[in-house]
Amino acid sequence: MVKLWLNILIVFTMILTCSFASDCIECPAGTYSNHSDISCSNCTAGSCTDTKDCVPCPPGFYSADSGQEACFECERGYNQSQPKKTECKPCPVGTYGNKTQLLLCELCNPGTYNNITGQTECVPCAKGKFQSQKGRNQCLDCIKGRVCNETGCDVCTLCQAGEASQNALYCNPCMPGTSTSGKEGYSVCVGCSAGTFCSDIGCKVCDDCKKGEYSPYSSSKKCLKCNIGQYQPKVGSRECLPCDPGKYQIAHAQSKCINCPPGYFCPNTNSGPIDCPDNAYCPENSASPQTCQALFVPNNASLARYCIPDTILYVTVAISLAMVILIVASLAFAIACRIHKNKILKIEESKSLLPSMRKPVKNPDYQGL
Ligand SMILES: *[C@@H]1O[C@H](CO)[C@@H](O)[C@H](O)[C@H]1NC(C)=O
Ligand SMILES: *[C@@H]1O[C@H](CO)[C@@H](O)[C@H](O)[C@H]1NC(C)=O
Ligand SMILES: *[C@@H]1O[C@H](CO)[C@@H](O)[C@H](O)[C@H]1NC(C)=O
Ligand SMILES: *[C@@H]1O[C@H](CO)[C@@H](O)[C@H](O)[C@H]1NC(C)=O
Ligand SMILES: *[C@@H]1O[C@H](CO)[C@@H](O)[C@H](O)[C@H]1NC(C)=O
Ligand SMILES: *[C@@H]1O[C@H](CO)[C@@H](O)[C@H](O)[C@H]1NC(C)=O
Ligand SMILES: *[C@@H]1O[C@H](CO)[C@@H](O)[C@H](O)[C@H]1NC(C)=O
């Protein structure tokens, strides 16, 4: 109890002394009056004097040492989101600070990056690279078939059909003989397949060879024409077909062969029809003339011609027939004569034996001619 009263007395005495003493001083900037002490104390680091008292530095400010008169603002590229701090931190990678007194650093925008801390701005992606996300510390290479020809790309552009890119900077049109098969985003143009072609640069698709044309190799700039003696009825072919025997073609690049007409023959598929020889006949599609069998001759009246029996044949057949009839007739006559003679002989014989030798005839032969 006595101690308490003593303390009260001391404080009261101090107040009296201060208020009446002329040497009572204000604490200087950066210090404050510690009431348990008569002297002035330095404000701790992270705080500063606000007239009579120490106050913590607000966010965006710092105080590195004790006894500071004022807090310092965070410089550009640095930030501090907490109060009463002794330092501001450099903005981390992927962020930047382009203002003072910054609490939070800004994230780098898409198309930019920062791989170093404490930056006041982000770096645009180099040509051929991109960054689609915010707050990144690097840009990525455009994938093949996509390009970025300027800095700061947030996306790489797809190469169009008929173009391709390897270098991530430019899409180059396909060379003749190649295409992208109608698709986008190619890194290399692909050679036209056999049977197709592309004559220009920048082909989206290769075209089929026309009927009567062909392309045996890939990467063709043009198709070849079918030779004479050949044909091709379909588009997109890698070869021509030979004309069938009996047909011909004397023009190039044809889709069909021509039938050898009746009355002609076509020994070669690559040359024109030849007149049928006189002693032969040639129906349509004859590769060679046909000869008639013996005793037949060509029928000249018909264009196609065919074999008809020779006049000699008619005569021969007629004579032969007549002779056969004559022979058969004479033979028959001869036989008939013989039989008749025999009968007469028998009758005379039987007459001479009569009457003693005569025997009854059971089945008398009345047969005769
Ligand atoms: C006042 O000073 C004393 C001794 O120097 C110290 O122990 C105390 O923490 C200080 N008080 C404040 C509020 O700073
Ligand atoms: C008080 O602050 C001043 C100014 O910064 C400094 O020179 C001094 O050493 C500090 N005193 C103590 C005890 O920290
Ligand atoms: C800083 O940021 C502001 C918008 O926040 C912008 O307008 C300005 O151009 C930026 N300055 C720099 C140097 O980046
Ligand atoms: C600075 O800003 C970044 C990004 O907003 C944040 O993550 C970081 O905590 C901040 N630093 C400080 C010390 O507050
Ligand atoms: C930052 O990026 C640049 C460009 O990509 C590179 O040259 C440099 O080495 C990188 N620095 C660090 C620390 O990663
Ligand atoms: C970049 O490419 C675009 C189209 O992708 C084109 O319009 C522009 O001219 C190109 N810029 C340069 C510098 O080549
Ligand atoms: C057709 O003509 C040839 C010669 O011109 C001749 O030898 C042949 O007998 C003729 N054929 C007929 C059936 O007239």
Q: Which residue's C-alpha comes closest to atom 10 of ligand 7?
A: 300
Burial environment of residue 329 by CB neighbours within 10 A (0 to 12, 13 to 18, 19 or more): exposed
CB proximity list for 94: less than 8 A, separation 6 or greater: 107, 108, 113, 114, 135, 136, 137
Share the mean pLDDT of the chain.
88
Q: Which ligand 4 atom is nearest residue 89's CA?
A: 13
* Residue 43 pLDDT exceeds 70: yes
Q: What percent of the chain has pLDDT over 70?
A: 86
Q: Which residue has the higher pLDDT, 10 or 189?
A: 189
Comparing C-alpha atoms, which of 2, 4, 5, 24 is closest to residue 14?
24
The model's confidence at residue 12, banded by pLDDT at 50, 70 and 90, is very low
**Quick one: pLDDT at residue 286?**
95
Express each pLDDT in 207-245 by its tens digit. 999 999 999 999 999 999 999 999 999 999 999 999 999
- What is the per-residue burial (b if ≥16 Cβ within 10 Å, else e) of 103-142? eebbbbbbbbbbeebbbeebbbbebbbbbeebbbbebeeb
Q: Check pLDDT > 80 for residue 20.
A: no
Is the minimum distance from the CB of 121 to ligand 3 under 6 angstroms?
A: yes
Please confirm whether the linkage preceding 273 is cis (ω < 30° from 0). Answer: no
Most confident residue range from 205-209, 316-320, 332-336, 352-356: 205-209
24 pLDDT higher than 80: no
Check for a shared fold between 29-90 and 108-158: yes
Average pLDDT (186-215) is 97
- pLDDT (average), residues 138-161: 96
Q: Is the CB of 65 under 6 A from ligand 2?
A: yes
Per-residue pLDDT, 231: 98
Task: List Cα–Cα distances, 136 to 96, 110, 116, 150, 211, in angstroms.
Answer: 11, 8, 11, 19, 58
d(CA 215, CA 206): 12
pLDDT at 17: 39
CA of 105 to the centre of ligand 4 (A): 6
Mean pLDDT across 288-307: 80
Q: Does ligand 7 have an atom closer than 6 angstroms to the CB of 299?
A: yes
Average pLDDT over residues 118-126: 98
Residue-level pLDDT at 232: 98
Ligand nearest to the CA of 170: 6
- CATH number among 2.40.70.10, 2.10.50.10, 2.40.50.140, 2.60.200.30, domain 108-158: 2.10.50.10
> Closest ligand 1 atom, CA of 34?
1
Ligand 4 neighbourhood includes 80 CB (under 6 angstroms): yes
Query: Per CATH, which fold does 29-90 belong to?
Result: Tumor Necrosis Factor Receptor, subunit A; domain 2 (2.10.50)
Per-residue pLDDT at 303? 66
Q: Over 50: is that where the pLDDT of 317 sits? A: yes
pLDDT of residue 301: 74
Q: Residue 252: pLDDT above 50? A: yes
Does ligand 3 have an atom closer than 6 angstroms to the CB of 285?
no
Which mutation among 32, 36, 38, 49 tests ligand 1's pocket best, with the greatest number of atoms within 8 A of CB? 36
In short, whether 63's Cβ falls inside 6 Å of ligand 2 is no
C-alpha 40/C-alpha 59 separation (Å) is: 26
Atom of ligand 6 nearest to the CA of 157: 5
Check if 105 has its Cβ closer than 6 Å to any atom of ligand 4.
Answer: yes
Cα angle for residues 126, 171, 173 (degrees, 5° grid): 165
Residue with tokens 């009345």: 366
Which pLDDT score, from 0 to 100, does residue 39 have? 81
Task: Tell me, using a 6 A CB cutoff, whether residue 298 lines ligand 7.
Answer: yes
Phi, psi (deg, nearest 5) at residue 68? -85, 145
Calculate mean pLDDT across residues 152-162: 97
pLDDT band at residue 146 under the 50/70/90 scheme: very high
CB atoms within 10 A of CB 245: 15
Nearest ligand, CA of residue 34?
A: 1
Whether ligand 3 lies within 6 angstroms of the CB of 98 is answered as yes
**Domain residue limits, the chain:** 29-90, 108-158
pLDDT in tens, 349-366: 666 655 555 555 555 555
Report the residue count for the chain.
369
* The pLDDT value given to residue 182: 96
Rg (CA), the chain: 64
Tell the residue nearest (CA) to atom 10 of ligand 1.
Answer: 34
Given this model, what pLDDT does residue 136 score? 98
Q: Region 22-43: what's the mean pLDDT?
A: 77
Select the more confidently predicted residue: 19 or 340: 340
Asked whether residue 179 carries a pLDDT value surpassing 50, the answer given is yes
